[in-house]
Structure 1
Amino acid sequence: METTTQALSLVDEAPATESFRDAALDGLRKSQKQIPSKFLYDERGSKLFDQICELEEYYPTRTEIGIMRDNVEDMVQSIGPQARLLELGSGSSQKTRILLDHLDDLAVYVPVDISRSHLVEAAEALAEAYPHIPVQPLCADYTTSFDLPEPPQPVHRTVAYYPGSTVGNFRPEEAQRFLSRLAEAVAPNGGLLIGVDLKKDVAVMEAAYNDAAGVTAAFNKNLLRRMNRELNATFDLDRFEHESIWNEEKGCVESFLRSREAQTVTVAGHSFSFAKGERIHTEYSYKYTLEDFAELVGAAGFSVETVWTDDQSYFSVQYCTVDG
């Protein structure tokens, strides 16, 4: 049986390299050096993260996939017919395929990712696997405002899909602002299908970000490699080490790059001194109780309609609707 290959048209709203330069320089000038976690996801970083998702210690992916497989019919019913599915941070799209296998009447699928090459690769694979579903890849920084491409056919509602508990990478006040923009983007009559990692035993959470094989360390240190390549930086990766620890007060796992020794590094022509043990903050991974997350999305204009969890209550997938 012949299938027609889609001619994909990439909508490119990706930020220029200059924004990475500005973020790196601004962050390294702070008393607590920091670089936003979104810059971890260049092409190599995205592929390393896909490897992390396969690790034994990294429970979120397999747990979320199990929840999706067990409850996909209910999720599809919540999304409804003729919807536009807007996936934020398309990644490898493994979880998306579980949805697309059951969304027979989807109007259009719009994967959004900041990594252009990774996005195109994933979109092409999905377009080939699902020739009956229009695919409109959008290269953009979804943490900021962006314009959706005109759909190829009328849509009944827009549903944002945000898997992987990536919402945990935002501080709570940032998460609320992000979710508020998302509520405006999917209104009226829209929804949000979102993965939310739940609070649990500290040892389980910390192990997920300190795997024995060192893949998470390579993922974190790839940020230094990226600065060397794109910003003419002089980081010696061997002189930094990966660190991830649970912060009980904040309710999150925090990731850092720790300098093994006193040193000076140049980035985009600017020099930065590091004391021995000084750290660059690279990522937050906030965990929530169901009550805390309901309060967060409620403040952003959503109402939690349905919650699906695993037997151990490690993780949740939640469907939220726009208020009003």
Structure 2
Amino acid sequence: MIQVATASPFTSPDSPLGPHRQLRRNLNFYDLQPPATNMLSEVTRSLTAAQPSLHPKFFYDSEGSRLFDAITRTPEYYPTRTESAILDSHAEDIRQHLGRCHTIAEPGAGSCEKVRLLLERWAPEQYMPLEISRACLLEASQRLAAEFPGVNISAVCADYCQALALPQNGQQPGRVVFFPGSTIGNFDPTERAAFLRGLHHLAGPGGALLIGADLQKDTERLNAAYNDSQGLTAAFNLNALHHLNRELDCHFDVSQMRHLAFYNPQLNRIEMHLECLADQQLLLGQHTCCLPAGTRIHTESSYKFTVEGFSKELCDAGFQPLGCWTDPDKLFSLHLAAT
């Protein structure tokens, strides 16, 4: 467990995570200086590949974040509200499987909204949100620190690689790593296996993982969830191109692109693409690139699981499954596993 400073606003470099700022009595901010990525280089490489693609992170400028929040409230998009209902119904049962929860760590914490129920019900000593966006992390952690004065918050600005390599808790009990939202489904199988091993390291000896996994279901329902009647998911997907035009001046003609999302039963995943309705002449720095009409840019995958299959993946990563909770319709699952 990371110890909270009580005297100086800065700790010594001997702290497990290095120097940090004490922003409130119960809030310390650690900046691990996540490495900046070369956006132009990354986008050029992915768009000129044999199968053009864009990383899902390009969805999330301010407009993309607003759109995603709206998507989670649509009638068709079940994962967010279903997972929240499972947590609300079973938080005490999950805590009993865990025993006393000392520290909750949440990689990719974002706005820290989903953890609120656990902070209220479990009253952990420590909460460690890990997030690459400094502004988002500072705003969310300041708000939580004011609302939960009894919880010591160690906010860590880091990318996933840094987060999953954090020091162990030493003699302190292991962490409960919270990874909700079925974000694990955005990783391809090889990446997912490596990521789960990283979560095992982050939890540490005597730790645990509480993770959401979306379940396989009828294709019609899956397709509807990613093609909502209000067109919000389409706007969210297309917004990645507006983002690139603004940041890199790529010259995408967004009016000549369309959103495609469909379930691939062979790979058990939803795929999101952007299809060129006309030739796209792109400017990528000093270079040009043509994407012919009909080209599909793969923007996201969302794998769907079975309870048994995902439990096996947890075992393969070194975890011992402790329990699994689902909704009555078996749409979504929450898995608890020990290290």
- Tell me which residue corresponds to 1:68: 87
Q: Deviation of residue 259 (structure 1)?
A: 1.1
Say if 2:69 is the partner of 1:50. Answer: yes
Deviations 1:93-130 (A, max 9, x none): 332111111122x2321112233323322222211211
Deviations 1:256-296 (A, max 9, x none): 11112112111233322111121110101000011111121
Q: Give RMSD over aligned pairs.
A: 2.2
- Tell me which residue corresponds to 1:184: 201
Q: Is the CA contact 1:33–1:279 (under 8 Å) kept in the aligned structure 2?
A: yes
- Tell me which residue corresponds to 1:102: 121
Question: Compared with structure 1, are the counterparts of its residues 155 and 213 closer, same or farther at alpha carbon in structure 2 (3 Å cutoff)?
Answer: farther
- Tell me which residue corresponds to 1:204: 221
Q: Deviation of residue 315 (structure 1)?
A: 0.4
- Tell me which residue corresponds to 1:91: 110
Alpha-carbon distance in 1 for matches of 2:66, 2:245: 19
Q: Deviation of residue 183 (structure 1)?
A: 1.0
Question: Compared with structure 1, are the counterparts of its residues 191 and 14 closer, same or farther at alpha carbon in structure 2 (3 Å cutoff)?
Answer: same
- Tell me which residue corresponds to 2:269: 252
Q: Is the CA contact 1:306–1:320 (under 8 Å) kept in the aligned structure 2?
A: yes
Identity %: 38
* Secondary structure of 1:102 counterpart: helix
- Tell me which residue corresponds to 2:11: none
Deviates more, 1:187-196 or 1:263-272: 263-272
Aligned residues: 316
Q: Is the CA contact 2:76–2:224 (under 8 Å) kept in the aligned structure 1?
A: yes
Alpha-carbon distance in 1 for matches of 2:319, 2:328: 26
Q: Is the CA contact 1:193–1:319 (under 8 Å) kept in the aligned structure 2?
A: yes
- Tell me which residue corresponds to 1:131: 149
Deviates more, 1:179-188 or 1:309-318: 179-188
Larger Rg: 2
Amino acid at match of 2:103: R
Alpha-carbon distance in 2 for matches of 1:43, 1:140: 20
Say if 2:51 is the partner of 1:22. Answer: no
* Secondary structure of 2:322 counterpart: strand
Say if 2:328 is the partner of 1:311. Answer: yes
Deviates more, 1:84-93 or 1:291-300: 84-93
Question: Compared with structure 1, are the counterparts of its residues 196 and 311 closer, same or farther at alpha carbon in structure 2 (3 Å cutoff)?
Answer: same
List gaps (5 residues or longer) in structure 1: none
- Tell me which residue corresponds to 1:111: 129
* Secondary structure of 1:136 counterpart: strand
Amino acid at match of 2:151: I
Question: Compared with structure 1, are the counterparts of its residues 150 and 174 closer, same or farther at alpha carbon in structure 2 (3 Å cutoff)?
Answer: closer
Alpha-carbon distance in 1 for matches of 2:286, 2:158: 27
Q: Is the CA contact 1:43–1:115 (under 8 Å) kept in the aligned structure 2?
A: no
Q: What is the TM-score when the length of structure 2 is the normalising length?
A: 0.86
- Tell me which residue corresponds to 1:170: 187
- Tell me which residue corresponds to 1:291: 308
Q: Deviation of residue 150 (structure 1)?
A: 9.5
Question: Compared with structure 1, are the counterparts of its residues 48 and 139 closer, same or farther at alpha carbon in structure 2 (3 Å cutoff)?
Answer: farther
Runs of 4 or more consecutive aligned structure 1 residues displaced over 6 Å after TM superposition: none
List gaps (5 residues or longer) in structure 2: 1-23
Amino acid at match of 1:321: A
Question: Compared with structure 1, are the counterparts of its residues 77 and 39 closer, same or farther at alpha carbon in structure 2 (3 Å cutoff)?
Answer: farther
- Tell me which residue corresponds to 1:214: 231
Alpha-carbon distance in 1 for matches of 2:62, 2:36: 15
* Secondary structure of 2:278 counterpart: coil
Amino acid at match of 1:69: D
Say if 2:51 is the partner of 1:32. Answer: yes
Q: Is the CA contact 1:43–1:118 (under 8 Å) kept in the aligned structure 2?
A: no
